[in-house]
A and B are shown apart, each in its own frame.
Chain A
Amino acid sequence: SQTIHQWPATLVQPVGSPLSLECTVEGTSNPNLYWYRQAAGRGLQLLFYSVGIGQISSEVPQNLSASRPQDRQFILSSKKLLLSDSGFYLCAWSDSRNQPQHFGDGTRLSIL
């Protein structure tokens, strides 16, 4: 069966520090991969998606970037975190556009 792993579960970082969140999927190949952010009291906002290795599409201009160095690995990064980057970050995968997306357990990021 397919599983998705996201880490760390929680992270506290100072303003201006770098960020790297990792997401890996097991049990499938060539999945579509997604990064979402949920700000407090709001819905899920799509940040990036990828339909293949090295293929990244950005949905909103921001301080973050994403990379897909391997088929089942999706990384969310920042060179310098801002206070506004605080939130709950979720990685998701789907087998194809016709299948539901399945989410990891998320990373709670707090910027101090």
Chain B
Amino acid sequence: DQQVKQNSPSLSVQEGRISILNCDYTNSMFDYFLWYKKYPAEGPTFLISISSIKDKNEDGRFTVFLNKSAKHLSLHIVPSQPGDSAVYFCAARSSSNTGKLIFGQGTTLQVKP
């Protein structure tokens, strides 16, 4: 049972435009959501997070939106840069005691110059 889903395996965007990466979840008990960025042969790097009590969090070019009623979150990157090309994982915290995370399958973003 995939509790966190990223239904788009890949996304291609032109440099300077907006990249929108989507993530859906099924467990209404998730209370904290994160986005990670991963380059090949490296570990994921934390990008941005959002608590379930908020609907938006912004950090520079990155903004995460949370729609709890739809159980959907998205990551917006504006403007997109070639260096943003990577695999992006969304994750949700499944346990308030241990901080365990459930990850989506990832979306590969390619930003073309």
Contacts and interface: CB of A to CB of B under 8 A. Distances in A.
Interface of A: 6, 9, 32, 34, 36, 41-46, 49, 51, 57, 59, 90, 92, 94, 96-106, 108
Contacts of A98: 32, 99
Nearest to A108: B41
B100 A43 contact: no
Interface residues of B, number: 27
Contact of A44 (B44, B96, B97, B99): B44
Contacts, number: 62
A105 B42 contact: yes
Interface of B: 4, 6, 32, 34, 36, 41-46, 49, 89, 91, 93, 95-106
Contacts of A59: 100
Contacts of B97: 97
